[in-house]
Structure 1
C-alpha cells in the first residue's frame, strides 16, 4: 500500500495548484512526433517570455501508441504491431521519435524537456502488450515468462494493444515493477495510465501504485500518477483513489462540443468538493486552440467552442480545481485562446481558491442557471461563477446569500474583462437581500471576483498561497 509520507514531495506541495500542462491527444491522437512534442514544449517554456510556464503550465505529455509503427489518425489498428524489448517493455517508434534510436528510449526527449524547465509525461495502457505475451519472454529477475503472467481474458474494450496482468501471480508484480522502473529511468515525471477505471480495476490500481512507489524510491523523485478514463466513475472509490493515485478522470473523452462541456457541470458538482492536494478529480483535457491535426476525431480545426463556451469551460475547471491539460497544438493556436490560458485572473482561481462547489442550479434542461463559489481560506477573496446553459444571452439575478456571500462585498470585478460589476439594490423580491444582477452570454459564464481589492490579476507579495 502506498502512503503519502513515503513518497518524494509532490510538484504542488508548495502551492495549491492542480497539475497543468499540454497533452498530444486532441491534436495528434496516436501519431505525435518528437518534433511536435518539442515544438509544444518550447512554446510552453518560451512564449511571451515564459508566461505559460510561469503560470503553471509545466508538464508535456506524450499520449497513446508512441510504440505503434503503423499508428494512424482516426482510430486504432486491431492487433497492431508494437515495438518492445527483450523483457516486453514497449519502446518508442524511431521513425517518429528519432532520438530513441539505439535503445535510448525516451531518455533524450525527456532530457530535452527537462532542459526547458518542464516535466515529461507518458501514456501507458493497463497490463502488458499482447505481442510480448505471445513472444513468451523472460520476466526479469524471476523464473517466470510473460506468457504466464498475462490475463488474456482481461482486455480493453476500445484498444487491443494489451492484456491485463494476473495480479495473483508473483511474476506479474515483478514484471510491472521492472517496467515502471524502466520508464521512470527514462526521466518520466508523469504517468497517464489508461483502461484503469471503466470498469474499476482495483487490483491493477494497487499494483501500479506499488510499482510507482518502488520506482520513486529507487530514482529519488516524485512521479505523478493519472488514471483514466472515468466513465461513470463512482465516489465510492474516492479513498482508494486518493491512496493510490494523484489524479483521476471522471468522464470519457471530452471534445469541442458544448454538450460535452455542459455535462461536466453535473459531474464536477459531485466531485469538486473532494478535489485538492490529496487527489485531483480530472474533468479531462481542454480541447482548445488548433486541434484535430491528426487526431482520433474530426478534421484539422480551431476548437469549435465559441469564445463564451471556452471561457465557461476554463472557469468551471478552475472553480472545480480540475487539472488543466490543453490539447491544442500551441504554436499554431489562435492568440485569443493562448491569452485565455495565461489569463492571470483565471489562474488566480486555479492557484488560490479552495472549497469550489456548486451553490445553486435551477431552470429547465437546456436553459439552466448554475452558480458556483470558491474562496481563499480566510474568506477575504471570493469567486462566483454564474453559468448559463441557454442558447441565448439572458439576465440572471442571484441573491447574495445564494452565491455564498455573507453580505455585500466591497468590490465585484468580472475576471475575464476586468470591469467593475455593480450590485443591484435590495428589493422585496429578494427579501431585502443584495443581488448579483448580470448578463450571462449564451452557453457562457460571468466569473466574478469579490473582495476588497479591485484588481483581477495575480496575487501580490502579501497574498500568500493557500496550502490547505
Structure 2
C-alpha cells in the first residue's frame, strides 16, 4: 500500500523534475566568503551585483548557505555550529524554529523574516531581479524539535521524537538527527518542509550531510517532497565523496551531487579534482550533474570558514585552469567569492560567454591524455566541432601540443581561442603552445568541411 500511494508522485516527477537543471546550474553561494555568518544585506548585495553584471551570461542562482537559523554574534567569523544540552535536556543556542519543528531564518540575520515571513521577502527580492533563490539545509530534523516533541504537520498525530533516528548524526554539526524514513510521519515531515520552502519561493535546496555516508532513503524522501510541493526545485546533495557505486541512484534522485569534500584554493586540490572527475565521467547529463564544488574565485573567507580573509590564492593561470576545467567537465558553477568586491580579473573570468558556452552546451566531456605534465580533455561542440582543454599540470612552463589524430580528426582544422575570443588560424596535424606552470588553453576546434 505504501508503494502504491507514492505512484502518483513518481509519475509527477517526470513533470516537475524535468523543469530544472537541464544544463548545469550557474550561481553564487554564500559559504566560501561568509561561512555561517552571512546577513541579509550581503545576500541582497550579491544578488544585485549578479543581476547587473552576470545574469546576461546565464548566472542566476543566489544561495544562502548554512546556519541561517542561528544568530551569529556580532563580528563572528565562523559562529558556533554546535548546540549544547542543558540539564533538563533542552538545547542552547536555540535555533529559530516554528511549532512544527521546521527551522526558520533568524531575524537578527534576516530582518525581513520578522513576523513569520521566513525567506519569502528575500526570495521575492531575488526573483524581482530575474534571478532564482536557494538555501542550504542540514539532513534530518532538529534535535531541539525532538526534545520539544514538536508535532509533525500532516503526520497523523506523531511528533518529532517518533520519526527521528537518534543514532544517525552528523560528525561535524550536532544540531540534527537523521530521519527514519520507515516510520509513519517521516515523509510527512519532509513534505511539510518542502511545502514551507515552496511558499517562500525557493528554487534550489542544498542538502548537507547526505552523500557521505550515502543516505539513499532520505535522498528519495527529499525528492518525493519536492514533487509533492509542486514547485520545481534543484536538489543539490552535499558533501562528497559521493560513492561511485551509488551513481545510478544519485543520477535518478538528485540534480547535482558533490564528488569530493570541500574544495579550496590549493593547487593539489585541483589535481585531486581531476581524478574525481575522471571517475565520474559519462554520468552527467540533462537534469543530473556531478559537482566539482564551488569556484574559488574572488574575495573569500571574509568570516571564515577556512583561513584569513583574502582573494583566492590561485595564480591567474591557476584560476583559468580552475574555471576552464569546471566548464569543460560541465560541473555546476557556484561562485564562492563576494561579488561586490570583484576586480577586473574576476569580471573577465566570470563574464566570458564563449567559455561559459562550453559548460552549458558541450556534450560528453572526456579525458583523452594525461601524463606527468600534460592533460587534455574534450567535449563535443556539435557539427563535428570539439571543445578542447589542454592543461600544463606540471610545475614549470612547457610546450603543450594538441594532436588532431588523437582527437579523431584526419583533416585540417580551424582553431579558436575561447579565452581570447579570436581565431588562431588553420592547422594540419597539431596545434601547440607554450603554457606556463599550471596554465591552460581552452579551444574550439572545427574540422574543414
Give the one of 339, 349, 353 matched to 1:344. 353
Match of 1:418 in 2: 421
Rounded Cα–Cα distance in structure 2 between residues aligned with 1:448 and 1:9? 31
Q: Which moved more, 1:65-74 or 1:294-303?
A: 65-74
Counterpart check, 1:78 vs 2:85 = no
Match of 2:239 among 229, 235, 238: 229
Q: Any unmatched runs of 5+ in structure 2? A: 1-5, 84-92
1:191-212, Cα deviation, whole Å (9 max, x unpaired) = 0000111000111111111111
* Structure 2 residue 69 is the aligned partner of structure 1 residue 67: yes
Deviation track 1:313-359 (CA, whole Å, cap 9, x = no partner) reads 11111111100000100011222112211112201211221111111
1:373 offset after TM fit, Å?
Answer: 0.6
Equivalent of residue 333 in structure 2, options 288, 306, 324: 324
Distance 1:145 1:165, change over 3 A: same
The answer (yes or no) to whether the contact 2:21–2:287 under 8 Å persists in 1 is no
**Paired residue total:** 427
Determine if the alignment matches structure 1 residue 310 to structure 2 residue 296: no
Distance in 1, Cα, partners of 2:304 & 2:198: 27
Secondary structure of the 1:304 match is: coil
**Cα pair 2:294 2:334 within 8 Å, conserved:** yes
Distance 1:22 1:99, change over 3 A: same
1:186–1:361 CA distance, 2 compared to 1 (3 A): same
Deviation by residue 1:213-265 (Cα, 9 ceiling, x = unmatched): 1012xxxx31110001012x232212211221111111111111111112111
Structure 2 CA distance for partners of 1:53 and 1:272, relative to 1, 3 Å: farther
Point out where structure 1 has 5 or more consecutive residues left out of the alignment.
426-433, 454-468
Say if 2:416 and 2:445, in contact at 8 Å, map to a contact too.
Answer: yes
Q: Does 1:280 align with 2:285?
A: no
Q: CA RMSD in A?
A: 1.8
Q: Which residue of 1 aligns with 2:140?
A: 127
Q: Determine if contact 2:251/2:283 at 8 Å carries over to the other structure.
A: no
The 2-side partners of 1:144 and 1:361 are apart by 56
1:278 CA displacement: 3.7
> Would the aligned equivalents of 1:75 and 1:296 in 2 still touch at CA under 8 Å?
no
1:22 touches 1:325 (CA, 8 Å); kept in 2? yes
Shift of 1:9: 4.5
- Give the aligned partner of residue 88 of structure 2: none
Q: Is this contact kept in 1: 2:113–2:119, CA < 8 A?
A: yes
Q: Aligned with 1:192: secondary structure? A: strand
Rounded Cα–Cα distance in structure 2 between residues aligned with 1:56 and 1:248: 21
Distance 1:304 1:408, change over 3 A: farther
Contact kept in structure 2, 1:25 and 1:63, CA below 8 Å: yes
**TM superposition shift of 1:436:** 2.4
